[in-house]
Structure 1
């Protein structure tokens, strides 16, 4: 066990706030918030990257112009895009709170839109999804959604074949003049390529928009690519401009506070727990150290904590154990398999046990954190949940935290690199500022491949689709956008360094190969390459019998994780749908079912296994020859073999 201390972080206040920015009483702005406002109103800037650290108010920076209401007959309509629905839900509550405080003169209407929300709204109003989206566009000043919906809207996924491809994106682009991408650092190369395609499509079919990327990490790749095709970018980096201070004494903290510097995060007692790199090492450590967790809550009255793990199964196994052991403290889970009601309860619990569902942007008021991670990015992201608030309100009483403590359950190799006697990146009981510490984690932890080569190989697939007969080349808009189509294609080739003719040739070839292989029409490779996050052919529908709330029992999960961790009973798709419709009729609550449309199989979830089971994929053909071809290939058949289980075959 190694222990260090992380200094608190203070953010510089803005100087000379313009008179037309009317703030709520006793409010001030941080330097980066005012700089973002200025950049948004600078006609020479197209794209802004705000890389202020987690907890420093990037959301207010994004919405400030809109919160000031309509000025000189102009208003900043916002389309805000969040990588998770959980974050969008959290931000909706945050922005509603800001609207109550700022009281803009036009009372902007907020719409939060997910795939499930869209399906339920369309079903309730007895209209098609396309009409539902059009209604939301017309009746909203702020739309908070995920980038997937924006992506599929551009591809015409919600339209009939005879419809104009611009039927939805044209009114959207005509109205909304500001696009915000939050937590941008977690997007992968596939998503970034699709976002660039969207930006170029908007540029050449409408007028220039403002784009704001909020990220705790600078994204040099996308900046260089955007500049290559003429986007003017500005990076707002408080650290580089020396707008952060890291005081190490109470006296220095008070001096900064007297100068109106705002505390972003408090000082943290940070403990590294080195573990073997095995599947359940973190889960076992928590089981063996539950007394440590209990004693921490007993020592620090009013403590609130979170445990963030990589495995949903571990969370499912640990939650009942901790609920019983820590009683009467309230322990709740929050994962992608947790029902909506329990997710909402978890935000008020004394201890929440969750996965990546809660590490992306959700604003927890906690002072105790135990977490594992998979790489440098998730390590820094999860640490960012801690020390953002000095306390919380409970039954109209303010509870102040007396300290902040983090336990990082880390692989042995990381601890050895960080505390190596020769390198001395960190020292036992050392005191460090947050920026230096983050650099050490990035330099010594696993670095995920940034897939720089992806753009040249695959980004053009969507470019071809957007400019083809299903996009700008559609007979209903071809003449109107003839010039736009050619300019769009030229920019795509330039930004991705590829030939769209060559890409189109490959796409036709993949379709022909698939038809020869399967006897079916379609193009699975193109479908996957043009999706927003990639496709999941192994996703299954679950009817979760462990879920208390009936309407929350219908879920999706990937087959490998199901086989490893769940005790299941296979059922037919017809049986699954029958149970869903019966539950819907019984509760009179709509249940979105579009997510089950492409599921590989359906099953009942009886319970979570105490031990992980081993399984493997098998393929009857010659995989070596396929691998040596260095080509993406669709396998027509594979089998999954699991110990003491039947063989599941997928065609």
Structure 2
């Protein structure tokens, strides 16, 4: 077997035991994790509860049943708006069978709902903050159980009072549910955990939050440490505990709550949550899985004829490649869902024969499929996508495309388990250990998250009565120390943190206060789907058939019913773009970084040039700059209009000397550590934006610290 040949495995299915009892949901026999969370919430046990049951095991029902039956006011935080939309439908259906489900006020809050249906509901409200304040006031006055579904961006804006209106209703929630938390970045994890910890520790007369529920994969080591040591709330893995004196029901010791099973071997008192899978793994560089898939179109077409298929790729341009190829073939029933094709999502999910997508369906959204074809650029993505083949006992098929280097580890495993069914835990351990670790450096905690938290505490203290300010600062500092200074070689003092905070400056601090950070975006009209949205400028320029226009010309292109949406989106945009599909590259190139799409280069001008030329790498820090310029080869129609829009746009930048590939290798960034070529008269250079700029700065400073073997220089930041 060559190191570049595909390898095959037989993965055992996963079954969960069913435990009968008086559960508050009609015709549902719960699993152990559902009973555990039910008992904790109905007994009002304060704590942080992690439900790491597999995909398809009923994690939504695990928290929904007890909060509804007990009337607990709940905020549920989902990573994407698409998932919020899907969960509204899912929860609304479940409420019909849940005890107390007829007394629930289910609210979905995103920037889109605030600008549309909630704006119509509260016509006198002039801002999103006012609408949200009025919406929650009416909901809590109704004496119903309120379940608010929102995204982490809005949750953070609420808690940090970044909306112009103070919205005290956030403190009335008793339960916070956070879905898919293992997919959050380090910055996002730190932000969410710090704010939830603060809410939990606040006097109950002010904030009622007593139960934190995380629906997640099994926490990796660092996240487990944060749950156990950083948080002031007791931590429980619900799959490992039972609060009843007598387990419900009594079962023989030989019967496990979770079992692996081969085809046709699932006992009747267990339910399949993951099927037995014939898995084929093929090498393909990240962002080139589509090319590898289409290199053997006959093989692909044979696979697609075996049943309903979901394909999950990394880039929209890959979705373009595969979908366009299928559309021209004799196979019917192919649909696509991605950032540019979000219309009729539920209809597509219910009716597809072949679904071509990217991360848009990776998380949470319900669908049924008989097989999957996916790319796995890292371990988390690999298992997230593999786990979407679920809730079926029948033998199924999966085809994964992974970085070529991973095949070395997998070859030895395939030889060891030839002809055997491998349990999922063993397989996951092998595969996870084979991936290169490109995780965010731990120094991000004290370099940036601590500064972000310090800024938050200062703002809360300054807005409080003078008598309360010392206590807020004291407890805030202790919380910062607990969350962010746990593994530092030198104990940092509050004076150190004040120094970092003072040097950071207001623009950088402002960029840290939001959950995901800013990106370089433009308003985009998709001429194919006739939809309007904002989207990443770097991706559009490299992979889109796009043109840029003045506002007046852009409005003349749009259907009239979309004109009002432009005013909603343009505050977050640097231009007006018409998208007509993927860009078809007709040029040959040997540049390994520009294998597909246009060559996109940024120019070091103004503040960005000064940052690169006048500040040495040892002391250079990310800075919010204006005057960013972009060039493309081939050119893009209307690019000068985009340049004009970008000239005043504030962008958090961190430039470095060196070629892009050199920097990626030197600092182990991986393919998703986004940096871009930067034209610089003195030689090769590259630039990272937004939170990527902060992560790269941490890696550079960590290297300097390791070489100097001191921390004092780093603290001068």
Q: Which residue of 2 aligns with 1:181?
A: 178
Q: Which residue of 1 aligns with 2:15?
A: 10
**Residue by residue, what CA displacement relative to the aligned partner does 1:1-44 show, whole Å, maximum 9, x if unpaired?**
222111111112337x4x4x33313x211011111222334555
**Residue by residue, what CA displacement relative to the aligned partner does 1:250-272 show, whole Å, maximum 9, x if unpaired?**
2x32xx21xx1111121111111
Task: Give, in angstroms, the shift of residue 322 of structure 1.
Answer: 1.0
- Written as runs of structure 1 = structure 2, the 5 A alignment for 1:314-329 is 314-327=318-331, 329=332
Task: Give, in angstroms, the shift of residue 122 of structure 1.
Answer: 4.3
Does the 8 Å contact 2:178/2:215 carry over to 1?
yes
Partner Cα separation in structure 2 for residue 419 and residue 500 of structure 1: 51
Aligned CA-pair RMSD:
2.9
Task: Give, in angstroms, the shift of residue 544 of structure 1.
Answer: 1.9
Partner Cα separation in structure 1 for residue 379 and residue 617 of structure 2: 30
Unaligned residue ranges in structure 2 (runs of 5+)? 1-5, 140-144, 243-254, 486-491, 586-596, 648-717
**Residue by residue, what CA displacement relative to the aligned partner does 1:273-292 show, whole Å, maximum 9, x if unpaired?**
223x264x322233233333
- Written as runs of structure 1 = structure 2, the 5 A alignment for 1:20-419 is 21-25=23-27, 27-41=28-42, 45-68=46-69, 70=70, 75-104=71-100, 106-124=102-120, 125-126=122-123, 127=125, 128-138=127-137, 139=139, 141-159=146-164, 167-168=166-167, 170-174=168-172, 176-202=173-199, 203-204=201-202, 205-226=206-227, 227-228=229-230, 230-237=232-239, 243-248=257-262, 250=264, 252-253=265-266, 256-257=267-268, 260-275=269-284, 277=285, 279=287, 281-298=288-305, 300=306, 303-327=307-331, 329-341=332-344, 344-389=347-392, 403-419=395-411
Secondary structure at the aligned position of 2:104 is classed as coil
- Written as runs of structure 1 = structure 2, the 5 A alignment for 1:471-490 is 471-474=460-463, 477=465, 479=467, 483-490=471-478
Partner Cα separation in structure 2 for residue 156 and residue 425 of structure 1: 57
Partner Cα separation in structure 1 for residue 108 and residue 272 of structure 2: 30
Equivalent residue for 1:494, pick from 470, 477, 482:
482
Range that drifts further, 334-343 or 306-315? 334-343
Secondary structure at the aligned position of 1:217 is classed as coil
Secondary structure at the aligned position of 1:141 is classed as strand
Partner Cα separation in structure 2 for residue 493 and residue 580 of structure 1: 52
**Residue by residue, what CA displacement relative to the aligned partner does 1:526-571 show, whole Å, maximum 9, x if unpaired?**
12222201221x2122122222xx3x1x122212211211122221
Partner Cα separation in structure 1 for residue 562 and residue 632 of structure 2: 34
Secondary structure at the aligned position of 1:193 is classed as helix
Using the size of structure 1 for normalisation, the TM-score is 0.83
- Written as runs of structure 1 = structure 2, the 5 A alignment for 1:561-600 is 561-573=539-551, 575-576=553-554, 582-584=560-562, 591=565, 593-600=567-574
Q: Which residue of 2 aligns with 1:639?
A: 629
Pair 1:581–1:324, CA change in 2 (3 A):
closer
Unaligned residue ranges in structure 1 (runs of 5+)? 161-166, 391-401, 512-522
Does the 8 Å contact 2:454/2:480 carry over to 1?
no
Partner Cα separation in structure 2 for residue 578 and residue 529 of structure 1: 37
Using the size of structure 2 for normalisation, the TM-score is 0.76
Task: Give, in angstroms, the shift of residue 481 of structure 1.
Answer: 6.7
Partner Cα separation in structure 2 for residue 154 and residue 270 of structure 1: 44
Task: Give, in angstroms, the shift of residue 372 of structure 1.
Answer: 0.6
Equivalent residue for 1:526, pick from 504, 509, 514:
509
Secondary structure at the aligned position of 2:481 is classed as helix
**Residue by residue, what CA displacement relative to the aligned partner does 1:143-193 show, whole Å, maximum 9, x if unpaired?**
111111010112222215xxxxxx31x32212x100001111001111111
Task: Give, in angstroms, the shift of residue 135 of structure 1.
Answer: 3.2
Task: Give, in angstroms, the shift of residue 110 of structure 1.
Answer: 0.9
Does the 8 Å contact 2:286/2:402 carry over to 1?
no
Partner Cα separation in structure 1 for residue 495 and residue 117 of structure 2: 41
Does the 8 Å contact 1:271/1:407 carry over to 2?
yes
**Residue by residue, what CA displacement relative to the aligned partner does 1:46-87 show, whole Å, maximum 9, x if unpaired?**
11111112221111112120242x4xxxx2121110111122
Q: Which residue of 2 aligns with 1:435?
A: 425
Pair 1:581–1:407, CA change in 2 (3 A):
closer
**Residue by residue, what CA displacement relative to the aligned partner does 1:360-381 show, whole Å, maximum 9, x if unpaired?**
1122200111101210100000
Q: Which residue of 2 aligns with 1:516?
A: none
1:544 aligns to 2:538 (yes or no) = no
Task: Give, in angstroms, the shift of residue 447 of structure 1.
Answer: 2.6
Partner Cα separation in structure 2 for residue 565 and residue 77 of structure 1: 45
Does the 8 Å contact 1:461/1:530 carry over to 2?
no
Question: Which structure exhibits the higher relative contact order, with contacts defined as CA atoms closer than 8 Å and separated by 6 or more residues?
Answer: 1
Pair 1:452–1:425, CA change in 2 (3 A):
farther
Q: Which residue of 2 aligns with 1:613?
A: 598
Partner Cα separation in structure 2 for residue 504 and residue 485 of structure 1: 12
Partner Cα separation in structure 1 for residue 101 and residue 362 of structure 2: 35
Partner Cα separation in structure 1 for residue 118 and residue 495 of structure 2: 39
Secondary structure at the aligned position of 1:408 is classed as strand
Pair 1:341–1:85, CA change in 2 (3 A):
same
Pair 1:137–1:12, CA change in 2 (3 A):
same
Does the 8 Å contact 2:50/2:214 carry over to 1?
yes
Number of residue pairs aligned between Structure 1 and Structure 2: 588
Task: Give, in angstroms, the shift of residue 383 of structure 1.
Answer: 0.6
Range that drifts further, 209-218 or 312-321? 312-321
Range that drifts further, 335-344 or 609-618? 335-344
Pair 1:247–1:223, CA change in 2 (3 A):
closer
Partner Cα separation in structure 1 for residue 160 and residue 504 of structure 2: 20
Task: Give, in angstroms, the shift of residue 574 of structure 1.
Answer: 5.1
Partner Cα separation in structure 1 for residue 64 and residue 132 of structure 2: 22
Task: Give, in angstroms, the shift of residue 459 of structure 1.
Answer: 1.5
Secondary structure at the aligned position of 1:102 is classed as coil
